[in-house]
Amino acid sequence: FPSHDTTFGGFTNFKLRDPICCRIRKAVQYSKTLDDYAKILIERNGGDYANSWLVGDINNNTIMRVELGYKFVNIEKKTNGYFIGYNSAEDPRIRNMETDDTDYYNVKTSSAARRVRLTELMEKYKGEININVGQKIIADHYDVYLKKINPSNRTCCSHYDLDESKYIDYVPFYPGGALDGIVTDSNMAKNMGLVGRWLNIVTARGYRDWE
């Protein structure tokens, strides 16, 4: 089960239960189906690491999104389509009742801008997505707010370190953002394979060899 997660910004609920580091390890190691995976994530969940968990089952070509809040959980599956992650909850119950996230529709912010851009790219490349296209999407530097190439916190290849935060109240040139980029497909995943790129965020200027 290849998996990925994006944290929900501004999550407010928490209860001391089984930590996510234990539950995700158990889910990855022992799940036989996507339902198993979701069940293990949810059992004794305390909201300690509220995320959108994106998971793929290479045995039946099914993908799943588990939006794991505390009081609310949203599970969706597809055999044809995509899911994206951008640090906001798609489920309005989680977003409006369990977070103080106000960024979802504001494309000046990182979450909303990446949601819009990732949706554009997924629609553009629908039916053509492979390893090379995946690398291209992750390395994308188009800023939907300024409508130009502009590496910043609003781009898929997130660059807080290059952003003066002129348009939103973030810390200017904060040494954070995208630390790595990882792509795999069904064939590679069957052999525990992936393509990855890792950078030191303080000196990084993008996945140059992916652009």
* pLDDT value of residue 199: 67
* Helical packing angle, 110-124 and 131-138, nearest 10°: 150
Cβ pair 134, 196 in contact under 8 A: no
DSSP state of 167: S
3-state secondary structure of 202: coil
Give the residue among 86, 96, 44 at the shortest CA–CA distance from 65: 86
Confidence band (pLDDT; 50, 70, 90) for 82?
Answer: very high
- Range of weakest confidence among 4-8, 113-117, 177-181, 203-207: 203-207
- The DSSP element (H or E) to which 196 belongs, if any, is strand 195-198
Q: Considering only CA atoms, which of 112, 74, 76, 109 is closest in space to residue 94?
A: 74
In whole angstroms, what is the distance from residue 147 CA to residue 155 CA? 11
Nearest Cα neighbor of 80 from 66, 65, 64, 62 is 62
Query: What confidence category does residue 15 fall into, taking pLDDT thresholds of 50, 70 and 90?
Result: very high
Give tens-digit pLDDT for 134-171.
999 999 999 999 999 999 999 999 999 999 999 988 89
Q: Maximum distance among all alpha carbons in the chain?
A: 48
